[in-house]
Amino acid sequence: MSSSSSPSSRKSASSSSLHPFPQVIAVTGGIASGKSTVSRLLGEAGLFLVSADRVARDVVIPGSHGLQKIIAHFGEGFLDENGALNRAKLGKHVFQNPSAREALEKILHPLIRDRVRALIKQGKEETALRPIVYEVPLYFETGYDYPEVDQVVVVYAPKELSVQRLIARDGLSAEEAQQRVAAQMDIEEKKVKADYVIENTGSLELLESAVRALLPMISEPLAV
């Protein structure tokens, strides 16, 4: 497949019974692969969008139970001058310390999961049969902990390209960028597990074309 060309599919058609509810499509991939861009494009096309990253921010706003748990474990040194979570400082700390990253995930993942499930339920009530897009960076890493998900789209970029993007986007050193890529499941393994793969190694225009090609694939009733 050429850069950001038509998405590949591992789904086979079936004439058996069809999924009666809105499909939930997980959009995942490696860090800096383009997940957020693909999800945004799907949302602009009229699909109901749920973002795990946005939920992750919401569950640690000042005064929240999530932020209180983070302070209790990591201390107030990870707050900024306004009492909000210093996400950059905490992110750097946990990516350099696997045990700290595991502790943070144990705090956040249950809170994120519960909120995401509530949003998916809301989406099913509001969207008739339009698909619901769930943008989730760590879908496979968290043990497929979302039975609501019907199909998985992996946005693919080689590890070397993701490292380059992180350096340019976030101002990380090469070592820091490599640590963040290595902290997630190998993108090649995610690619194998996907129902659909969008390769994002080219221009935004090519990525937009790939998303347009994906839309009818994920909008059809799901055979069960």
Query: What is d(CA 187, CA 157) in angstroms, rounded to the nearest whole number?
Result: 8
Q: What is the mean pLDDT of residues 87-95?
A: 93
What distance, in Å, lies between the first and last C-alpha atoms of the chain?
28
pLDDT over threshold 90, residue 20: no
| Per-residue model confidence as pLDDT tens digits over 181-215 | 998 999 999 999 999 999 999 999 999 999 999 99
User: H-helix or E-strand containing 199?
Assistant: strand 196-199
- In this prediction, residue 154 carries a pLDDT of 97
Instruction: Kindly report the CATH class assigned to 8-219.
Output: alpha beta
Going from N- to C-terminal start, the domains of the chain cover 8-219
Query: What is d(CA 114, CA 48) in angstroms, rounded to the nearest whole number?
Result: 18
- Total Cβ atoms within 10 A of residue 176: 18
Can you state the percent helix, strand and coil of the chain, rounding each to 5? 50, 15, 35
24-29 and 132-135 beta bridge pairing:
parallel
User: H-helix or E-strand containing 134?
Assistant: strand 132-135
Q: How would you classify residue 34: left for phi > 0, otherwise alpha for psi between -120 and 50, otherwise beta?
A: left
User: H-helix or E-strand containing 197?
Assistant: strand 196-199
- In this prediction, residue 1 carries a pLDDT of 41
Residue 182: helix, strand or coil by DSSP?
helix
Between 187 and 3, name the one with better pLDDT. Answer: 187
- In this prediction, residue 4 carries a pLDDT of 56
Q: What is the mean pLDDT of residues 11-31?
A: 68
Q: In the beta sheet, which residues pair with residue 154?
A: 28, 197
Q: What is the mean pLDDT of residues 171-189?
A: 94
> What letter does residue 7 receive in the DSSP assignment?
P
- Total Cβ atoms within 10 A of residue 35: 26
Query: What is d(CA 70, CA 2) in angstroms, rounded to the nearest whole number?
Result: 43
| Per-residue model confidence as pLDDT tens digits over 27-77 | 999 999 999 999 999 999 999 999 999 999 999 999 999 999 999 999 999
